[in-house]
Amino acid sequence: MDREMDIVKVSDIVEDSVAYMVREAEGCVLDGEFIVLNYGGYPYAIHVSRITSPGKILGWIRQLSEKNWMNAHRLNLFATLAFQQIGIEVDNAL
Protein backbone atom coordinates (compact mmCIF):
# COMPACT_ATOMS: atom_id res chain seq x y z
CA MET A 1 0.00 0.00 0.00
CA ASP A 2 2.74 2.50 0.91
CA ARG A 3 4.59 1.65 -2.30
CA GLU A 4 1.54 2.62 -4.38
CA MET A 5 1.35 5.96 -2.58
CA ASP A 6 5.03 6.58 -3.32
CA ILE A 7 4.47 5.91 -7.01
CA VAL A 8 1.59 8.39 -7.12
CA LYS A 9 3.71 11.00 -5.37
CA VAL A 10 6.59 10.50 -7.81
CA SER A 11 4.22 10.85 -10.77
CA ASP A 12 2.83 14.05 -9.27
CA ILE A 13 6.35 15.40 -8.91
CA VAL A 14 7.19 14.52 -12.51
CA GLU A 15 3.96 16.13 -13.75
CA ASP A 16 4.63 19.30 -11.73
CA SER A 17 8.20 19.44 -13.02
CA VAL A 18 7.10 19.12 -16.65
CA ALA A 19 4.47 21.83 -16.15
CA TYR A 20 7.13 24.12 -14.62
CA MET A 21 9.53 23.55 -17.53
CA VAL A 22 6.77 24.32 -20.06
CA ARG A 23 5.86 27.57 -18.24
CA GLU A 24 9.52 28.57 -18.12
CA ALA A 25 10.05 27.78 -21.81
CA GLU A 26 6.92 29.74 -22.75
CA GLY A 27 8.38 32.73 -20.88
CA CYS A 28 11.25 32.97 -23.40
CA VAL A 29 9.98 33.07 -26.97
CA LEU A 30 10.79 34.44 -30.39
CA ASP A 31 7.98 36.81 -31.32
CA GLY A 32 8.56 38.21 -34.79
CA GLU A 33 11.89 40.03 -34.63
CA PHE A 34 12.10 40.02 -30.82
CA ILE A 35 13.17 37.56 -28.18
CA VAL A 36 10.62 38.21 -25.47
CA LEU A 37 11.26 37.28 -21.84
CA ASN A 38 8.11 37.36 -19.76
CA TYR A 39 9.13 36.57 -16.20
CA GLY A 40 9.21 39.81 -14.25
CA GLY A 41 5.56 40.72 -14.55
CA TYR A 42 5.99 42.49 -17.88
CA PRO A 43 7.51 41.52 -21.24
CA TYR A 44 11.21 42.29 -21.74
CA ALA A 45 11.85 42.37 -25.49
CA ILE A 46 15.23 42.27 -27.22
CA HIS A 47 15.32 42.94 -30.97
CA VAL A 48 17.22 40.25 -32.87
CA SER A 49 19.36 42.95 -34.52
CA ARG A 50 20.96 43.44 -31.08
CA ILE A 51 22.12 39.81 -30.82
CA THR A 52 24.16 39.35 -33.99
CA SER A 53 27.33 37.86 -32.47
CA PRO A 54 28.41 35.67 -29.56
CA GLY A 55 29.91 38.75 -27.91
CA LYS A 56 26.63 40.64 -28.06
CA ILE A 57 24.77 37.64 -26.67
CA LEU A 58 27.27 37.46 -23.81
CA GLY A 59 26.61 41.14 -23.11
CA TRP A 60 22.89 40.45 -22.88
CA ILE A 61 23.51 37.46 -20.63
CA ARG A 62 25.52 39.70 -18.31
CA GLN A 63 22.80 42.35 -18.28
CA LEU A 64 19.98 39.87 -17.80
CA SER A 65 21.83 38.11 -14.98
CA GLU A 66 21.48 41.29 -12.91
CA LYS A 67 17.66 41.21 -13.09
CA ASN A 68 16.00 40.03 -9.89
CA TRP A 69 13.58 37.84 -11.85
CA MET A 70 16.34 36.03 -13.75
CA ASN A 71 17.82 32.68 -12.80
CA ALA A 72 20.26 30.21 -14.37
CA HIS A 73 17.55 28.14 -16.06
CA ARG A 74 15.99 31.22 -17.67
CA LEU A 75 19.41 32.45 -18.81
CA ASN A 76 20.00 29.07 -20.42
CA LEU A 77 16.68 29.32 -22.29
CA PHE A 78 17.57 32.84 -23.48
CA ALA A 79 21.12 31.88 -24.51
CA THR A 80 19.92 28.82 -26.43
CA LEU A 81 17.31 30.83 -28.32
CA ALA A 82 19.69 33.74 -28.96
CA PHE A 83 22.47 31.52 -30.31
CA GLN A 84 19.96 29.72 -32.55
CA GLN A 85 19.14 33.11 -34.10
CA ILE A 86 22.74 33.50 -35.25
CA GLY A 87 23.02 29.90 -36.43
CA ILE A 88 24.82 28.38 -33.47
CA GLU A 89 23.35 25.29 -31.84
CA VAL A 90 23.98 25.03 -28.10
CA ASP A 91 24.78 21.61 -26.63
CA ASN A 92 22.85 21.62 -23.35
CA ALA A 93 23.82 18.05 -22.51
CA LEU A 94 26.81 18.92 -20.34
- Domain ranges for the chain: 27-85
76 vs 67: CA distance, rounded Å = 14
Residues 31 and 45 sit within 8 Å (Cβ to Cβ):
yes
76 vs 90: CA distance, rounded Å = 10
Q: What does the pLDDT look like over 45-94, one tens digit per residue? A: 999 999 999 999 999 999 999 999 999 999 999 999 999 999 998 887 65
- Over residues 4-27, the mean pLDDT reads 72
pLDDT at 40 over 90: no
65 vs 40: CA distance, rounded Å = 13
